[in-house]
Each structure stands twice: as C-alpha cells, then as structure tokens.
Amino acid sequence: MGLDIWFKDDIKNILLGVEVANASLASYCCEEEVQAYRDGFKAALLATAVSFGICQFGPRTEARRVGSQTALSAVVEQP
C-alpha cells in the first residue's frame, strides 16, 4: 500500500484552482453580499494555505488581480 503524499506546490495549485473557480462565478455579480462572501472565501483559502505552511500570515496577504482573475498573493507569491 502506497502513501498519499502531497507537496506544498500541489496544495498551492489546488487552492489556486478553487480560487479561480470561485472568482469566475463571482465575476457575474457585483453586489455587496457577493463581495462579502468572496472576502470570507479568500480568508478561508488563506487560512488553509497558512495551515499547510505554504505561506505566512503577514502584510503581503492582501488580494490582488492576476490576469482577469483574483488570487491570494500570499498563495501566489511565497514570502
């Protein structure tokens, strides 16, 4: 029986994929409630990234635009 091993880059790519999917859905709405949901969603992704040691929580953890999608700079750019 083999071990299931996930590398940090694998987890980072999974988190980014989830972020892109959520950003795509949210791009059709600009209501305040949707933006509040997105903020919470991004916070959950960031918490997951911090939990796996992919990034550290700090001043570089703000959201930024990547192409036409948003992504967490803390996940995209490791400190």
Question: pLDDT tens digits for 4-32?
Answer: 888 999 999 999 999 998 888 887 787 88
Q: Tell me: pLDDT of 52 over 60.
A: yes
Per-residue pLDDT tens for 29-39? 878 888 888 88
What own/partner pairs with CB < 8 Å and gap ≥ 24 does 49-52 have? 49/11, 49/12, 49/15, 49/74, 49/75, 50/74, 52/8, 52/11
Of 35, 56, 58, the closest CA to residue 70 belongs to: 35
Q: 46 burial class (0-12, 13-18, 19+ CB within 10 angstroms)? A: buried
Give the pLDDT of residue 4. Answer: 85
**Domain-by-domain residue ranges, the chain?**
13-76
